[in-house]
Amino acid sequence: MRLPSIHDFAAEATDPGRYAALGGDWALAVADVVGSTRLAAEGRHRDVNFVAAAVVAVLSEAVREAPDPAACQFGGDGGIAAVPPGRAQAAHEALAALAHWSATDMDVPLRVGLIPVEALLAEGLEVLAALHDFGNGNAFGLFLGSGVAAADAWVKADPRWRIDPQAGPLPGLEGVSCRWNPVTTKRGTILCVIVDPLAGGAEGLATLARVQADIERVVSTSVAAPLGMGERLVANWPPSWRSLRLEARTRPRGRRAMTVLAALAKSAILSTLLKLGRRLPAFDPEQYRRSMAERSDFRKSAGGPRFVLDVTEAEAGAIDALLRAHADAGRIRYGTARARATTVTCLVGDLAADRHVHFVDGSELGFWRASVMLKEMKATVPV
């Protein structure tokens, strides 16, 4: 089954008619960082984002059926992927290898698991999937339905769904980097938003459409894009030592020094070209920045909408108020978190072939902080 494509997020992302219902022969691959509270307290926010991007990079290679891109999604401190029929073993091996690499090379514990959609359907839970498609194989996975949150909860709560770490190959990992500076807010504050419906089925989907429309009335999410049109992205040289260290750990130990040198050289060229307003015959740095902004996942759906928005304080307050009203009416659970800047983690395949996408989060793990608020609400709101 070929997943449908969505091109206009605001108009299409909450329309179930734009998605495909996954059958029982599909699965959901789930990964999340364990101990985010400790890691955040240690100032290792970028490590967590980097591991989450690595999950998407590796799963994208493991589960995709060429020429179509895989439906994978970055979650700030984890990731999720739709696993097509026949790709479950590849996903299992990739998840095991990711958990091993994350623990041994990154010192970031990663919990991973694989949930058959058949098991979710047996509980009356559905999973709808689509691709937010930017063309040329560049896409993000989008998900609706109560099965997405359930899959994540099952892996966390029940060891039988988990996969033990096991060393193995990690194709795709070498494409992950995070050399760009955090992008400070231009309009007032960075607002991270997570919304989940309380009702399932058609009622829950209708609620999400209403919430999305209410947010769009406060501020057009396209206007609130945290990277603007790319002009806010700054590539200072040299990149931070932390970013170089993270990138080096995507390679075997014997190749890490060369990886750092290569990253320094590439960063120097990019920074110089941007400062001088120059381009190379096969590379336009300004166009690259514009496409980075276009292909950032500041808007997504994982059972409900997730946003990283650059908004005014008044807009942030209005969004908080409307979400609170929906929650008080018993329609949703939600979480929000403010941040001073947007962090960017990149997945670059073949630049010559224009293959690259970019993952954003609020600084200091904005998505994770919003999820903490949502979990606290979940504990106090009856189902």
pLDDT given at position 380: 65
Buried b (16+ CB within 10 A) or exposed e, 124-158: ebbbbbbbbbbeebbbbbbbbbbbbbbbbebbeee
Q: Does residue 244 lie within any of the structural domains? A: no
pLDDT at position 267 is 95
**How far is it, in rounded angstroms, from Cα 151 to Cα 225?**
29
Residue 14: inside a domain: yes
Query: Is the residue at 241 inside a domain?
Result: no
What domain range is 310 assigned to?
5-228+290-380
Does residue 273 fall inside a structural domain? no
Q: pLDDT at position 383, please?
A: 43
Locate 270 and state its tokens. 């990019």
pLDDT at 259: 96
Strand partners, 357: 347
* pLDDT value at residue 48: 98
Specify the pLDDT at position 381: 52
Answer yes or no: is 53 within a domain: yes
Tell whether 266 is covered by a domain.
no
Q: Which positions of the chain have pLDDT values less than 50?
A: 382-383
Name 234's Cβ contacts closer than 8 Å, sequence gap at least 6: 180, 181, 183
CA distances from 196 to 56, 153, 154, 160 (A): 22, 13, 17, 26
Nearest to 163 by CA among 213, 216, 103, 205: 103
Whether 356 is in a domain gets the answer yes
CA nearest 19: which of 138, 131, 105? 131
Write the DSSP symbol of residue 161: G
Residue at 349 is within a domain: yes
Number of domains in the chain: 1
